Amino acid sequence: MIAALTLAVAVAALTGHTLVNAYAWLRRPTAGPAEVTEPVAVLLPLRDEAERVTPCLRALLAQRGVPDLRIVVLDDGSTDGTADVVRAVTGDDPRVTLLTGVAPPPGWLGKPHACWQLATRTGPEPAVLAFVDADVVLTPDAVAAAVAELRAADAALLSPYPRIVVRTAADRLVQPLLQWLWLTFLPLRAMERSRRPSLAAAGGQFLVVDRAGYLRAGGHAAVADKVLEDIELARAVKRAGGRIALADGSRLASCRMYDTWPQLRDGYTKSLWATFGHPTAAAAVLALLFALYVAPPLLALGALLAGTPAVAAVAFLAYLAGVAGRVVSARATGGRAWPDALGHPVSVVVLGWLTVRSYHLRKRHRLTWRGRPVT
């Protein structure tokens, strides 16, 4: 009974923190019309994105509220005709510049190098840089609203996290964990106020930075060899004395990160080892997650079979508290709550498997992404 009560109290406390983060501390940029007078450059790195970049490009061309807008696209060694698609969609729009990227030099990973090329080849005029991934579709006011929120937060870096589009069972099990993890375990108010680089989070799908603060932090050159370049960039900004902020960008942008299970599996596998750091730390975190979110339903079932219904009831309440946390996270970030949240223990188990796979393949130097080695 004591173990069940402890689990129930701990999970309920974390769900309470999720609730406070989601509805008291999480920034929400306006989804309506906004006006930005300063020059802004939207930077779009592309590598073999011919099949899915069109909606992203059309959304960028439809941006409003930013009279001085530039859209700079980098074709990063694509072999599928990505550059031809860009030309066909954008036509002769004077706001658009298409650059041809060069291969990353030793010590650089592909994504940071592509972003650094964009930032340094855009020209000195833009005061704000907005990095966007090819799988992101912005609403017409998204760039203006994000820039306005960046200035309102007095931040050097703002991460307006998009709504993650889920379609398959694998999507629904894994993808909601992204928002749930930082809403549950990251103290958002402390993250904004603290200068500690360890208290940092960001999502590279849609990232808005003050150009001066970005360069002062070293830009993507400071995170050249980092798999999680978005989080490491946020930490670099903090080290340089800048503020960072997270925002709910679900009303501004949507993102379909992976189309198939192999893509999702490999996408998480390439980076989870970097998320947790040392394998001992990963083991400790996974043990905690399993104890809090996987053990309760198993304990409830075991107690019921053992003829101790009181213990089963308390353990079941712990499970429901975990489900409630997923529901709060989904409601706050434009995600799908039901019935997906009921499978939260299974989601945690899948996350554990992906993490073990990540460390296993990294140890054998077999991690790759988009045809390039990750480690």
| pLDDT tens digit sequence for 265-285 | 998 998 888 888 889 999 999
Both tokens assigned to 137: 């579709």
Structure tokens at 362: 């990294």
Q: At residue 360, what are phi and psi to the nearest 5 degrees?
A: -60, -50
Number of neighbours of residue 1 by Cβ within 10 angstroms: 11
Is residue 307 packed enough to be buried (19+ CB in 10 Å), middle (13-18) or exposed (0-12)? exposed
Do the beta carbons of residue 329 and residue 183 sit within 8 Å?
yes
pLDDT of 87? 96
With a cut of 70, say whether residue 298 has pLDDT above it: yes
**What dotted CATH number matches 25-258?**
3.90.550.10
Enumerate residues 6+ apart whose C-beta is below 8 A from 216: 156, 240, 241, 242
Model confidence band, residue 257 (pLDDT cutoffs 50, 70, 90): confident
| Two tokens, residue 340 | 């997906």
Give residue-wise pLDDT tens across range 171-203: 999 999 989 999 999 999 888 888 888 888 898
Per-residue model confidence (pLDDT) at position 375: 64
Give, as one character, the DSSP assignment of residue 171. Answer: H
Confidence tier at 369 by pLDDT (50, 70, 90): low
Alpha-carbon distance 172 to 264, whole Å?
11
pLDDT at residue number 372: 67
Ranges of each domain in the chain: 1-22+266-373, 25-258
Instruction: Tell me which residue of 369, 165, 172, 135 sits closest to 274, measured CA to CA.
Output: 369
Site of tokens 């370049």: 229
